[in-house]
Structure 1
Amino acid sequence: MENGERSEQMDRLIRIAIPVGVVLALLLVWYLIVHVENIPPYILPDPIAVAIALVKDWPTLWPAFVVTTKITFMSLGLALLGGTVFAILLVQARWLELIFYPIAVVLQVTPIVAIAPLILIYAPTTQSALLICAYLVAFFPILSNLVQGLKSVDHNHLNLFELYGANRFQTLWHLKLPTALPYFMTGLKIGGGLSLIAAVVAEFSAGSSGVGSGLAFRILEAQFRLNIPRLFAALIMLSALGIAIFALTSFLSWLLLHRWHESSLKREN
């Protein structure tokens, strides 16, 4: 038992140490390239200059980070709710799927950069326009994955539920939704990353400035002023937000699936 526990602890340490080591190695390579090649900071700053800019410009970057985070999570929450309800309705009523699913596909394949200017024109406020853009991008992965999961129920299990006289709600709650849960979590992971991307793209299109501006505007502002350390600092904050969203959705997936689903059980073994 002690050997098994020690091996598990070593595996955990290795899983943590390898990504940290890779990041540190990349930072060292970055630092060496800048100083060996004598690259000026307005072209490529070194990691220390970026860290200084992150601390120095924190009062400016943090409110923008909060705005982008709020838009991302609000759009993801709305996409989660809308995609779940809409997917259940589509699967329960075949005629609804034939009517509305092609519309959802058209919205998904249309680049958000192309429709963002129209949304900015017709939306009542800039913040609502950003929210709509991020929602449209995050909505379809959740919808499509959940629809696929609800359709992937074993027909033998469906026949068994029919044999025992289960109604449509009982079949949905006790059979279809548990079967679709892994598909749903995959869609949630994808939608979380896409909601952040769409929020940033929508901010670029809007070009909104002032107190309510997000990190995308701060990146554009830093670019125009050739404040490249601040630009990199804003990019690092965006990357950190994306990693946090992925970690949160991955943890939620593990929490819901690790006790029974084969994919999570294999990871633990």
Structure 2
Amino acid sequence: MLHGWCQNADAFRKRLSSWRRKAARNGVELVWAEAPHQVTSAFGGEPPPDAKGWFFPELAPGAEPVSSLRASGIRYHGLDDSLLALEAATHAAARSDADAAGGAGTGARGRPPFDAWLGFSQGAMLAHQLVQAGLAHRAGLPAAASGAAPMPPSAAAAASEATASEATLPPAEFGARCSAILPPAVVMVCGIASRALTPWPADTPLPLPSLHITSPEDRSIPEELQVELMGRFRAAGRARIVHGHGHAMVQQAADIDAVIAWLRSAAPA
């Protein structure tokens, strides 16, 4: 579970009590990942305590932060740290999976332990970028770019000193590490396509099953941008849920049941 901008794993978990109850009743385990960077300033007001972010988009001088939603070729500062955070969460889950099965390795099922990444808002952007990099690596595409950038002084001042990297991973290594932890499916909630550089061709749909939860009432991410992200994935493995509650996770029992049912059909046992 990849929370949004200016959230954190604990706050995200507490907001989604209906998800936790439904998951427990259906034998689904939810793992709440934490973004590595502290957010100390936010567009539109003061961020809440312990606000976290997955990356900081590099903006042109004088540009409004909202411009990063539609621009292209943006560099994301701190993206590598988020990859490493997900890598650590994946390895921890794999160890738990293996211990439960009395063995060792990638996981009891011989593959990364997560059946899917669920990303909300910026968490969906992160998932999209890592999926592109991982699939590009598997396809043998030249690793010319990863979209990641070292933390400059301006962004590092707003990020946790303990997690801010001094340099980025080489693009080839970034792609290889994304590929190693890539789950069988993704769920994108109020998401937007990553605007960072990537070796994956923009006009080639990603061959990964995807469920997109969109809202025409979203005032943070216009629905047209949510639909654009949906179009980046192959239609054959794609599904959509529409809700009317704006920039938020769906909470209705029927919608959560639909997500769980889709995951069971999209991810191998």
TM-score greater than 0.5 by the shorter chain: no
Q: Of Structure 1 and Structure 2, which has the larger fraction of its residues in strand?
A: 2
Write 1 or 2 for the structure with the bigger share of helix: 1
Q: TM-score, normalised by structure 2?
A: 0.29
TM-score normalised per structure 1: 0.29
Larger Rg: 1
